[in-house]
Structure 1
């Protein structure tokens, strides 16, 4: 446990050359990335973080301040006890947390990641999240369905208590996005990769490209068939692409990759 966050090692590989931290989308816990564990190359150790109020920690109060969450994530990934280089991949709100964690590391003089992957989230410039989220939050069940990237299960619709339990972490992460205030800073000197779904109603290819303004090296989006949660039907293809993109960067810095 580190200040309210827990590191979750999804597949222990103490001899792996690189740690790959995957940060989950709104409302999800570290287990969201469990299907990746057996697919990543042997040179990478799959990790995530467990946030209060999400996943197995739904009984705990949620954190809704981006800066606070990012500072805790930064502390976990820049681990003095583990000198291995690391990389970050964030899906949806996890991408924003990853981005702010890297900014926090830069400001504090910490180690920066070898690479960062952003999936299914537009750039944070110009109050973009408030404009996109508010109509969905005011849109009732249809808006919630768009937020989760698919239809709401009938068992939730029939049980208001269960629905509240399921929606609370999602709404907490929506507050995290709404509370976020973008700051103009120099571009991050970290290799970037972009991923998205071809039918994602929340993030278009053009919106993914907004991240290029915030990094020193531009990336071309890798698009997969599907919506906001495209990865559910494209897990193997996405992991192969992530491994290739990370590997292309990591092999220059880490001979074992």
Structure 2
């Protein structure tokens, strides 16, 4: 299966017309490729993933290091003519939230459901010291210490270290310079995924409740911050069920 670009911002998995649409937003330092691969195991979902500049097929482009600019660019390119749900992991969860708020401000179609993963509620105050100012090797080492998930060969090759640090630094600058501003809760159903062994606690995940009007669902999986890599089949079955059920309920309404 060769992914297809619906725009430079969105890489699409296997086209499945008529199936529920899911748009995935990657974690800090992530790219669309990891999530597009999920399409093979989600035959009932028409999946696409956000490709941020500075990585993957957009490696040569300037990175974005501010939330406002990033959200404006994504919203401008976001396909919202048909019903869709969104999934965001870690930094991607925060971006999904801010993108949805901007879609509401501009009168665009909102997602049928938000699925946020591995990230505390946006109003939660961050306690970890910032890392985006660190030298390349220290930045990569600290991010790996906190969350894991970075291949060990990155540190062994200076060119690879510099390439990865470039977009990882930009993503962490987006996160670490973000300031939450109160707005009315979103009228969108919300599901929270998290790893049981992640450092993000139950209270931080359940605090997402204040950001939506309806009751949220919290689902825990075995594993740490990247629980979906450790137990991909189980997680993707749960994700597919959420997306399918949401689409079916909305069609019946």
Q: Which TM-score band (shorter chain)?
A: 0.7 to 0.9
Provide the C-alpha distance between the structure 1 equivalents of 2:96 and 2:180, rounded to a whole number of angstroms: 14
CA deviation string 1:178-212 (max 9, x = no partner): 121111001000000000111112x2222111211
Q: Is the 8 A contact 1:23 1:95 kept in 2?
A: yes
Provide the C-alpha distance between the structure 1 equivalents of 2:73 and 2:109, rounded to a whole number of angstroms: 14
Q: Which of 145, 158, 162 is residue 160 of structure 2 equivalent to?
A: 162
Over aligned residue pairs, what C-alpha RMSD do you find?
2.4
Give the secondary-structure state (helix, strand or coil) at the position aligned to 2:47.
Answer: strand
Residue 91 of structure 2 is matched in structure 1 by: 93
Match status 1:11 vs 2:32: no
Structure 1 residue 160 displacement after superposition: 2.3
Q: Is the 8 A contact 2:53 2:61 kept in 1?
A: yes
TM-score (ref. length: structure 2): 0.88
Q: Map of 1:81-120 to 2, 5 A cutoff?
A: 83-120=81-118
Q: Which runs of 5+ in 1 are unaligned?
A: none
Structure 1 residue 92 displacement after superposition: 0.7
Provide the C-alpha distance between the structure 2 equivalents of 1:149 and 1:157, rounded to a whole number of angstroms: 13
Bigger shift: 213-222 or 84-93? 213-222
Structure 1 residue 134 displacement after superposition: 2.2
Greater than 6 Å deviation, 4+ residue runs: 135-139
CA deviation string 1:47-94 (max 9, x = no partner): 112111122322221111112222222233344xxx320111001111
Q: Map of 1:52-201 to 2, 5 A cutoff?
A: 52-79=53-80, 83-128=81-126, 131-134=127-130, 140=138, 142-150=141-149, 152-153=151-152, 155-201=153-199
Q: Which runs of 5+ in 2 are unaligned?
A: none
